[in-house]
Amino acid sequence: MFSFRRGSLLLLTLALVLTGLLGCSGERKVYNEKSFDAAVEGITDSQVLAGIYRQYLTETTDTDLAEKIELEWFVRDKEAALAAVNQLAELNPDSPHYIYLQGWMLKSAEEKVMAGRKAIALDLKFAHGYKLIGGAYQSLFRDRGNEEDLLWLERQLETDSPIFHQAVMIDPGADWAWSNLYGFQKYNKNEEEALVILLKGKDLNMGFASDWNIASMRMELGQYDEALQEFVDGAAKALAEEEIEASEQDEYIFVRYTALLQRDRLWSHLDTYVKSHAGWEAKPGHLVVLAGAKAIQLDMDTALAHLNAAAENGLDSESELNSITGIDVFAQDERYLETLALVQANWIAGAPERKAETLADKFSRPAPLWTLGDAVGDSISLTSLKGEIIILDFWATWCGPCRMAMPVLDHWMKNEMPEGVRVFSVNVWENNLPGATEFIASNDYAMELLFGSHDLASNYGVEGIPYICAIDAEGNIRFEEVGFSDGLGEKLGWWVEELSQ
């Protein structure tokens, strides 16, 4: 029996539902990346942000967007993010979307693969299920992970092998799908198939199909000239995209090709290639490569002779000496100690020129604003730091050059950094978020850890890490450095000195 009171309640309920769905304007609310970015812009209150994260994770069907939101929430409040995703997965047990969101945060390879299998069983065309499984197997293909995971994956690989081919058919434009198939073929020593996939990726301009990977595979197939050509093509592409200057093309090719020849111990090819360059006898970089090759072959006399010639021709980098395999074998040799002293003298003598070059690179670009979570869950914004000089170091735990740069940053902070400077290590492109906090803490680094995002890295123009920049008191980026070099410590001092004037 209808009553006025019950009818009024029903109408009120419908009105509230429609208001939630349509908004005050009467238009249905859209849950996409654009609306999400607009919703969180300028918001610093963690509870408000948590409400927005939860709302979008509940409403959006865009799995890529949901993954982005989940990661952003995770770096701000790990426990809250995991609890929300787990709850949504429990409420939607037959949703591949939520199974994936829960699965990619699981720790063990077995848990990830089982979640991926469950998602695919519910929807054979759900690409992210294949992505979850393939991503778990990357630890096996790259031999990175704990022994328990690697053993389990090795036993399961035959069962899951079809998914690598199915993934590229379901999402033929996905970099991750082709990358996982490449890893699968390479792991199974199907070099020719792996090369075909790499060349396909190169045609599609995919990130995994780098000139290094393609040249490396060609080298394994004995295609030495073709491997060299890949680096020639890579240098031309890097020049066209303004990643290198014309004067750096030859070095780009030389460093990469000789590294492959050294890796594969192709000594005669290496010797012939280096000596094919006119004037190699007076080029420090060429002489160091030959010295390294001779050291590995235990020809110490020739190795030391090459190193001494490199020093006499201006070699000033101790790290180049330390990078030589077997350097410790003759590190106490009197001839080596004389060479080392000359290298150190070259470094000191070159300081004025290096300083002039460093300061000549000064520029001004407004630093993109950010509010980021730190290791204890608090938030720090760039706006709140105005008036101070800020050093940002974009890094990840898996990045070797990042690990080389961090002790230098730490030493500079503890021994040389003046007042009015803050240094933040901004973790991006990370595959082990908990490990980032542990890495900073276990090394007792002085840098303040912040958790960044892909968007933040993109906003700062980060294409490789470590990326280190100096922001002045007015909020403008004035200096930047990509990669690690011997001169990082002195550059930090010169940057801050210049920006303090």
Specify if 134 maps to a domain. Answer: yes
CA dihedral 53, 55, 57, 60 (to 10 degrees): -130
Q: How many Cβ atoms from other residues are within 10 Å of residue 400's Cβ?
A: 9
Structural contact between residues 370 and 456, judged by C-beta atoms closer than 8 angstroms = yes
The answer to whether residue 195 sits within a structural domain is: no
Determine, yes or no, domain membership for 88: yes
Task: Concatenate the DSSP letters of all residues of 373-394 into one string.
Answer: EETTS-EEESGGGTTSEEEEEE
Q: Which residues pair with 449 in a beta bridge?
A: 425
Q: What is the reported pLDDT for 203? A: 94
pLDDT (0 to 100) of residue 75:
73
38 and 174 housed in the same domain: yes
> Is the C-alpha dihedral spanning 222, 226, 232, 237 positive or negative?
negative
**Which pLDDT score is estimated for 330?**
75
pLDDT value for 343: 93
DSSP 281: G
**Whether 380 and 325 share a structural domain:** no
DSSP strands (E only) in 295-419: 365-366, 371-374, 379-381, 389-395
The 10 Å Cβ neighbour count of residue 369 is 13
Do both 310 and 220 map to the same domain?
no
pLDDT given at position 27: 59
Give CA–CA dist 417/124, Å, rounded: 56
Query: What residues make up the domain containing 318?
Result: 280-349
Residues 16 and 39 in one domain: no
Residue 419's domain is classified under what CATH number? 3.40.30.10
Assigned domain for 478 exists: yes
- Separation between Cα atoms, residue 172 and residue 169, nearest integer Å: 5
- What's the pTM value of the predicted model, to 2 decimals? 0.76
3 state DSSP class of 469: strand
Question: Phi and psi dihedrals of 70, rounded to 5?
Answer: -60, -45
The pLDDT of residue 454: 82
Among 261, 277, 293, residue at a domain's last position: 277
Q: Which of 474, 458, 457, 463 is nearest to 392 (CA)?
A: 457
391 plus 468 within the same structural domain? yes
Q: Is residue 440 part of a domain?
A: yes
Q: Which of 251, 277, 303 is the last residue of a domain?
A: 277
Q: Which residues contact 242 (CB under 8 A, 6 or more apart)?
A: none
> Torsion-angle region of residue 205: left (phi > 0), alpha (psi -120 to 50) or beta?
left
Are 408 and 392 in contact, with CB atoms under 8 Å apart? no
Burial class (CB in 10 A: 0-12, 13-18, 19+), 198: buried
The DSSP secondary-structure symbol of 174 reads -
Residues 83 and 227 reside in one and the same domain: no
Residues 253 and 116 in one domain: no
* Look-up of token digits 């991926």: 116
| pLDDT tens, per residue, the chain with 501 residues | 333 334 443 333 333 333 443 444 455 678 898 999 889 887 778 889 899 999 999 999 999 999 989 988 887 788 899 999 999 999 999 999 999 999 988 889 999 999 999 999 999 999 999 999 999 999 999 887 789 999 999 999 999 999 999 999 999 999 999 999 999 999 999 999 999 999 999 999 998 999 999 999 999 999 999 999 999 999 999 999 888 889 999 999 999 999 999 999 999 999 999 999 999 999 999 999 999 999 889 898 999 999 999 999 999 988 888 778 777 777 778 888 999 999 999 999 999 999 999 999 999 999 999 988 888 878 899 999 999 999 999 999 988 899 999 999 999 999 999 999 999 999 998 877 778 888 999 999 999 999 998 889 989 999 889 999 999 999 999 999 999 888 899 999 999 999 998
Please check whether residue 200 lies inside any domain of the structure: no
Pair 43, 185 in one domain: yes
The reply to whether 264 and 298 lie within a common domain is: no
Q: Is residue 9 part of a domain?
A: yes
pLDDT of residue 453: 84
Total number of domains in the chain = 5
Residues 370 and 492 in one domain: yes
Residues 255 and 294 both lie in one domain = no
- Within 10 A of 310 (CB to CB), how many other CB atoms are there? 28
Last residue of a domain, one of 349, 366, 381: 349
Closest listed residue to residue 209, CA positions, set 169, 229, 179: 179
Tell me, yes or no, whether 177 and 98 share the same domain. Answer: yes
In a domain, 201, yes or no: no
